[in-house]
Amino acid sequence: CEVGEKPEMISGAYLSLYNTDFMILLSQAQSDRTILAKQLGISEHQLSYITHSNSGEGLLFYGNVTIPFVDRFPKGEIYNLLTTRPEDVKNEAKTE
């Protein structure tokens, strides 16, 4: 469950939000961070992982544990298969 798309819908999705064991949050807008911090009990330090963060950075929630993460995945064949950025694959093809 990735709540990060539309946090303003939390009130309507309250049961889904609290009925999941696993959730990932990526970079969030200020207004969304405020809502999420209140609803999920995210600390100021943890908020830094979803404030103007880069690709591969965020917060992982598993049960009652919150884990900040930074994942720098090296570019190459596997990256090209997994990326959600088609422009990366297109740009790499141009350089080959």
Give the DSSP letter string of 8-60: GGTTTTHHHHHT-SEEEE----HHHHHHHHHHHT--HHHHGGGSSPPTTEEEE
Q: What is the pLDDT of residues 21-72, one digit of tens each?
A: 899 999 999 988 998 898 889 999 999 999 999 888 999 999 889 999 998 8
Q: Is 88 helix (H, G, I), strand (E, B) or coil?
A: helix
Q: Which pTM does this prediction carry?
A: 0.67
| pLDDT above 70 (res 86) | yes
Q: Other C-beta atoms within 10 Å of 25: how many?
A: 24
Q: How confident is the model at residue 83 (pLDDT cuts 50, 70, 90)?
A: confident
- Give, as one character, the DSSP assignment of residue 64: T
- Among 2.60.40.1260, 3.40.50.150, 3.40.50.300, 1.20.58.100, what is the CATH number of 3-95? 3.40.50.300
Question: Which of residues 22 and 4 earns the better pLDDT score?
Answer: 22
Amino acid at 26: L
Q: What's the pLDDT at 76?
A: 85
Structural domain boundaries in the chain: 3-95
